[in-house]
Amino acid sequence: MTRSVRRTRTLQAAGAGAAALLALSACSSSSSSDGSSSGSGSGTSSSQKLSGTVTVFAAASLKESFTTLGKDFERQHPGTKVTFSFGGSDTLAASITGGAPADVFAAASPKTMKIVTDEKDAAGAPATFVRNQLEIATLPGNPGKISSLKDLTKSGLKVVLCDKTVPCGAAAQKALTAAGLELTPVSYEQDVKSALNKVVLKEADAAVVYKTDVKAAAGKVEGVEFPEAAKAVNDYPIALLKNAPNTAAAKAFIELVRSAEGQKVLTQAGFLKP
Amino acid sequence: MTDIDETLSGVSAEDVPGAGLDARLVVDRGAFRLDVALTAAPGDVVALLGPNGAGKTTALRALAGLVPLTDGHLRLDGAALDRTPPERRPVGVVFQDYLLFPHLSALDNVAFGPQCQGSSKAEARAQATEWLARMGLADHAGAKPRRLSGGQAQRVALARALATCPRLLLLDEPLAALDARTRLEVRAQLRRHLAEFEAVAVLVTHDPLDAMVLADRLVVVEHGRVVQEGAPSDIARRPRTDYIAQLVGLNLYRGQAEGHTVRLDVGPVLATTEHLSGPAFVAFPPSAVTLYRDRPSGSSARNLWRCEVAGLETHGDQIRADLTGELPLAADLTTVAAAELDLHPGAVVWATVKAAQTHAYPA
Amino acid sequence: MTTTDKSGAVTLESGSPRRRVPRGAPLPLLVPALVALAFLLLPLLALLIRAPWRSLPGQLTSPEVWQALQLSLITATAATAVSLVLGVPLAWLLARTEFPGRGFVRALVTLPLVLPPVVGGVALLLALGRNGVVGQWLDSWFGITLPFTTAGVVVAEAFVAMPFLVISVEGTLRAADPRYEEAATTLGASRFTAFRRVTLPLIAPGIAAGAVLAWARALGEFGATITFAGNFPGRTQTMPLAVYLALQNDPAAAISLSLVLLAVSIAVLAGLRDRWMTAAS
Question: Confidence class of residue A23 from pLDDT cuts 50, 70 and 90?
Answer: very low
Q: What Rg value do the Cα atoms of chain B yield, rounded?
A: 25
Distance separating alpha carbons of residues B237 and B215, to the nearest angstrom: 16
Which chain A residues have any C-beta within 8 angstroms of a chain C C-beta?
88, 90-91, 94, 158, 160, 163, 165-166, 185-190, 194, 198, 201-204
Please list the helix, strand and coil fractions of chain A in percent, rounded to the nearest 5, in that order: 50, 20, 30
Residues A159 and A175 in one domain: yes
Q: Is the pLDDT of residue C133 over 50?
A: yes
Residue B73, helix vs strand vs coil: strand
Residue A165 has its nearest CB partner, among C125, C230, C248, at C248
Identify the closest residue of chain C to A190 by CA–CA distance: C245
Chains A and B touch (3+ CB pairs under 8 A): no
Chain A residues touching C122 at Cβ < 8 A: 201
- Integer Cα distance of B283 and B302 in angstroms: 16
Q: Is pLDDT larger for residue B295 or for residue A106?
A: A106
Distance from CA of C199 to the nearest CA of B (A): 9
Using the beta-carbon criterion (under 8 Å), do B99 and C189 form an inter-chain contact?
no
Kindly report the nearest CA distance between residue A186 and chain C, in angstroms: 6
Dist CA A13 CA A25 (whole Å): 18
pLDDT of residue A108: 87
Phi, psi of B314 (to 5 degrees): -80, 145
**CB spacing of B86 vs C186 below 8 angstroms:** yes
Among the residue ranges A30-34, A44-48, B295-299, B328-332, the one predicted with the least confidence is A30-34
Q: Does B146 touch chain C (CB under 8 A)?
A: no
Same domain, A117 and A56: yes
| CA dist list (Å): A166 to A89, A98, A110, C3, C255 | 8, 20, 12, 84, 18
CA angle, C265 then C267 then C272, to 5°: 95
Please spell the DSSP secondary structure of C40-82, one letter per residue: HHHHHHHHHHT--TTTHHHHHT-HHHHHHHHHHHHHHHHHHHH
Supply the pLDDT for residue C169: 94
Which of the residues A203, A220, A221 would you substitute to probe the C interface, choosing the one with the greatest number of C C-beta atoms within 10 Å?
A203
Radius of gyration of chain A (CA): 20
SS3 B8: helix
A206 and A139 in a single domain? The answer is yes
Mean pLDDT of B306-326: 88
- The structural domain count of chain A equals 2
Summarised one tens digit per residue, pLDDT across range B221-244 is: 999 999 999 999 888 889 999 898
Residue B9 pLDDT > 60: no
In this prediction, residues A73-95 reach a mean pLDDT of 90
Of all residues in chain B, the percent with pLDDT exceeding 70 is 94
pTM for the model: 0.74
Q: Give the distance from residue C262's alpha carbon to the nearest chain A alpha carbon, in angstroms.
A: 22
**The pLDDT of residue A7:** 45
**Domain match, A84 and A168 both:** no
Q: Among B21, B45, B24, B23, which residue's Cα sits nearest to residue B33?
A: B24
Query: What band does C42 get if pLDDT is binned at 50, 70 and 90?
Result: very high
Q: Is the pLDDT of residue A20 over 60?
A: no
Contact list in C for residue A198 (CB cut-off 8 A) is: 147, 230
Domain C55-280 belongs in CATH node 1.10.3720.10: yes
DSSP secondary structure letter of residue B317: T
What pLDDT is attached to residue A60?
83
Determine the distance in angstroms separating the CA of C139 from the nearest CA of chain A, rounded to an integer: 11
Compute the mean pLDDT over every residue in chain B, rounded to the nearest whole number.
88
State whether residue B93 sits within 8 Å of chain C by CB: yes
Q: Region C3-25: what's the mean pLDDT?
A: 45
Q: Is the pLDDT of residue A16 over 60?
A: no
Predicted confidence (pLDDT) per residue in B166-206, tens digit: 999 999 998 888 888 888 888 888 999 999 998 999 999 98
Flag if C231 and A203 touch (Cβ within 8 Å): no
B83 interface with C at CB cutoff 8 Å: no
Chains that touch C (3 or more CB pairs under 8 A): A, B
**How would residue C38 be classed by pLDDT, with cut points 50, 70 and 90?**
very high
Domain-embedded: residue A259: yes
Dump pLDDT digits (tens) for C79-103. Answer: 999 999 999 999 999 998 888 988 8
Predicted confidence (pLDDT) at residue A211 exceeds the cutoff of 80 = yes
Average pLDDT over residues B46-52: 92
Mutate to test the interface with B, among C182, C187, C192, C281 (most CBs of B within 10 A): C187
Confidence class for position C223, pLDDT limits 50, 70, 90 = very high
* Cβ neighbours for B166, distance < 8 A, ≥ 6 positions apart: B90, B91, B92, B199
Contact A194 C246 (CB under 8 A): no
Say yes or no: A192 and A259 in one domain.
Answer: no
> What 3-state DSSP class applies to B308?
strand
Give yes or no for B56 touching C (CB within 8 A).
no
Q: In terms of residue numbers, what domain contains A211?
A: 134-231
Are C and A close enough to touch, i.e. 3+ CB pairs under 8 angstroms? yes
Q: In the predicted model, is pLDDT for residue C267 greater than 50?
A: yes
The confidence band for C250, taking pLDDT boundaries of 50, 70 and 90, is confident
- Given a cut of 80, is residue B123 above it in pLDDT? yes
Residue B141: φ, ψ to 5° = -55, -40
Q: By CA distance, what is B164's nearest residue in C?
A: C187
**Are A171 and A125 in the same domain?**
no
Q: How far is C238 from chain B (nearest CA, A)?
A: 39
B87 and C189 in contact by Cβ < 8 A?
yes
- The model's confidence at residue A262, banded by pLDDT at 50, 70 and 90, is very high
Same domain, A195 and A218: yes
Task: Tell me, yes or no, whether A177 lies in a domain.
Answer: yes
pLDDT band, residue C273 (cuts 50/70/90): low
* CATH number of the domain bearing residue A190: 3.40.190.10
Asked, for residue A35, whether it belongs to a domain, the answer is no
Minimal CA–CA distance to A240: which of A254, A219, A227?
A254
pLDDT higher than threshold 70 for residue A30: no
Task: Tell me whether residue A43 is in a domain.
Answer: no
Question: At CB < 8 Å, which residues of chain C contact B?
Answer: 177, 179-180, 182-191, 193, 197-198, 201-202
Q: What is the dihedral of CA B343, B349, B354, B359, to 10 degrees?
A: 80
Do B and C count as touching (3 or more CB pairs closer than 8 A)? yes
Cβ contacts of C193 on chain B, cutoff 8 Å: 116
> Is position A175 within any domain?
yes
Cross-chain CB nearest to C187 (options B85, B102, B116): B116
Q: Which candidate in C228, C232, C255 is best for mutational testing of the A interface (most A CBs within 10 A)?
A: C232
User: Which among C177, C180, C188 has CB closest to B116?
Assistant: C188
Q: Is residue A163 part of a domain?
A: yes
Of A163-167, B79-83, C130-134, the range with the lowest mean pLDDT is A163-167
Check CB contact under 8 Å for C187 and B160.
yes
Q: How many CB pairs under 8 A join A and C?
A: 61
- Residue B221 has phi, psi (to 5 degrees) of -115, 130
Query: Which chain C residues have a beta carbon less than 8 Å from that of B87?
Result: 185-191
Note whether A69 and A202 are same-domain residues. no
**A167/A240 same-domain check:** no
What pLDDT shows up at residue B3? 42
Determine the average pLDDT of the residues in A98-105: 90
Which chains touch A (3+ CB pairs under 8 A)? Answer: C
- CA separation, residue A121 to residues A26, A101, A128, A235, B141 (Å): 23, 11, 17, 20, 79
A165 domain-assigned: yes
Same domain, A115 and A175: no
pLDDT beyond 70 at B110: yes
- Yes or no, beta carbons of A203 and C129 under 8 Å apart: yes
CB contact under 8 A, C190 and B92: no
Most confidently modeled range among B205-214, B325-334, C181-190:
C181-190
| Closest by Cα among B212, B247, B243, B248 to B226 | B243
Contacts of A91 in chain C (CB under 8 A): 248
In a domain, A218, yes or no: yes
The mean pLDDT value for B258-282 works out to: 87
Q: How many CA atoms lie within 13 A of C22 on its CB side?
A: 1
Are B101 and C180 an interchain contact pair (Cβ–Cβ within 8 Å)?
A: yes
Closest approach of chain B CAs to the CA of C208, in angstroms?
16
On the question of pLDDT at A158 being above 90, the answer is yes
Q: Is this prediction's ipTM beyond 0.90? A: no
Structural contact between residues A171 and A112, judged by C-beta atoms closer than 8 angstroms: no
Question: Which chain B residues touch C182 with a CB distance below 8 Å?
Answer: 64, 66, 86, 99
Q: Between A10 and C40, where is the model more confident? A: C40
Question: Which residue, among C160, C175, C173, has the nearest Cα to C91 in the 3D structure?
Answer: C173
Q: What residues in C contact A163, CB-CB < 8 Å?
A: 231, 245, 248
